[in-house]
Amino acid sequence: MCLGVPAKVVEMEEERALVDVMGSRMYVGIIFVPEVKVDDYVLLHAGQAMTIVDEQFARESIEEWRNVLDGSHGPLF
């Protein structure tokens, strides 16, 4: 199973971007989304931005991730 984590693009460089993932910042590859720009939301997998997603989807997904991490979502399986 692959999980995509939503992140907001904060800064751009040539082939990577600085993203914010629920308050943590890291650099990720952007070769799969060459059209990405600052303030876009992307789904990350294995250090790469895989696709651009809309802000509403990203915010809803982040909320679900927070619920899982806080343990307020109940068992996953």
The CATH class that applies to domain 5-70 reads: mainly beta
Look at the alpha carbons of 60, 63, 68, 74 in this order and tell me if their dihedral is positive or negative.
negative
pLDDT > 80? residue 65: no
CA distances from 75 to 62, 69, 70 (A): 18, 11, 12
For the chain, which residues make up each domain, given as ranges? 5-70
Tens of pLDDT, residues 14-49 = 899 999 998 899 999 999 999 999 999 999 999 999
Q: Which residues contact 59 (CB under 8 A, 6 or more apart)?
A: none
Tens of pLDDT, residues 40-52 = 999 999 999 999 9
Residue 15, SS3 per DSSP: coil
